[in-house]
Structures are given as structure tokens and as C-alpha cells.
Amino acid sequence: MSQKVTKPITLALSKGRIFDETLPLLKAAGIEVLQDPEKSRKLILQTSKADVRIIIVRATDVPTYVEYGAADLGIAGKDVLIEHAATHPGALYQPIDLQIAQCRLCVAVPKGFDYEAAVRQGARLRVATKYVSAAREHFARKGVYVDLIKLYGSMELAPLIGLADAIVDLVSTGNTLKANDLVAVEDIMPISSRLIVNRAALKTRRAELQPLLDVFEQAG
């Protein structure tokens, strides 16, 4: 007689802060992750529950794995979700805010650059960022003309080397800005990480997912 083999519940996480801050939430659900992604090169991590596994992907890829159902659940920053939603609107189930990996999305400029005066004078600013959608919306709301330059990392370098007047980046302690003689001049929004759920899995695997959803919901 053939036995029905069910796919384990798959949770997509990125290494670093999100992984580290998700561990206590999983522990509260009685789930221990059996490998450390900082020590192991494995990308599929087993847990103490045979029916729950973790996959380790790039932060910006988490929404994609969940949208296409390769992962049932994922945890991603609001910054990443805003950029994903710009090209895939409505693709993901309304996320639960887990209040982890908190930071701020800010506009920053080199020390001594009078951002307010430039804005008042209607100057057209060049802004380098990884967060093009969030930045576009912010400056449009303020009525500031900007040319957005998409970068994939090291945004702090752009104003120092003449690529841009300003950057839009995540700020946590502020140490990275300080080390590069930049100052935050505007807060765009607070950022935290959210649980996202595959729309189909939510319908077809609701009973299996519910205990995990409950634990995550309590964290939020």
C-alpha cells in the first residue's frame, strides 16, 4: 500500500540578524534548529520537528520562495517586502509584524551638505539606493525631484565618490553612517521583519501551519 508522503513545512530565512532573532520564536514553538548556518554550508536545515525545515536564502529572495510555494512561510524585512510588492503586487499573504530586526529607513547626506536648503530651492537630487520603490514614494510625497540610482550594496560610498548627493538606506546603530562622515537627515519609516505566508499553503495546509502562525502572532 502506498503511503502518503507529506512535504515538511518549509520556512525561508536569511542568515544573520533575521535568523538569530527568529530562533527564540521557534524555540517558543518547541522547534530547535539542528544546524548553525554560520558554521555549516547546508542550505536546508533540519529542526527538532521532522515536519518543519528551514531553508537559508538571500534576504531579497525570501518573498520569491514564498510566493512560488517553494517555502510555505518566510521572514523578511519590510524594506524587502515593499520592493517585492512593487513588481509582484498582492502576491503574498498579509504579513504579521514580528517586531524583530528593527531599524529605520533614512535619507542620509555627507556632513555639511544642506539637504533642507537643497529641497527648499527645488534642486534635483541624485539619490543612490537599494530601495528604489520606497525612495520614489517618499520623494514623490514630499514633492522633491530626484534621480534615483539603483545600487545593490555599499550605498554609503556613493555620496563620498560623487555618484550621488544623498542615499536612502537602513540605519540601525548609525555607526556605518558615522564611519563614512554621513548624517541621517530624514526618517522615511521604521522597519521590522514580518512573517509572510504562501497564499495556497494557507488554504491547503492551514491545520499544520496554525500552531506556528499562533506562536508568530503572539510575538507580533
Contact between 63 and ligand AMP per CB under 6 A: no
Length of the chain: 220
Least distance in Å: CB of 170 to ligand AMP?
4
Sheet holding 52-56, edge to edge: 44-46, 52-56, 9-13, 73-77, 182-197, 93-110, 166-171, 125-129, 146-150
Other C-beta atoms lying within 10 Å of the C-beta of residue 195: 26
Tell me: does residue 185 bind ligand AMP (CB under 6 A): no
67 binds ligand AMP (CB under 6 A): no
Whether the CB-CB separation of 35 and 46 falls below 8 Å is answered with: yes
Q: Judged by CB under 6 A, which stretch of 32-40, 118-126, 137-145, 163-171 contacts ligand AMP?
A: 163-171
Out of 103, 127, 151, 196, the only residue in the binding site for ligand AMP (CB under 6 A) is 103
- Return the residue of 122, 173, 203, 207 that touches ligand AMP, per CB under 6 A: 173
Q: Is 54 in the site for ligand AMP (CB under 6 A)?
A: no
**Per the structure block, which three cell numbers stand in for 96?**
504579521
**Which residues of the shown chain bind ligand AMP in the complex (CB under 6 A)?**
17, 77, 101, 103, 169-176
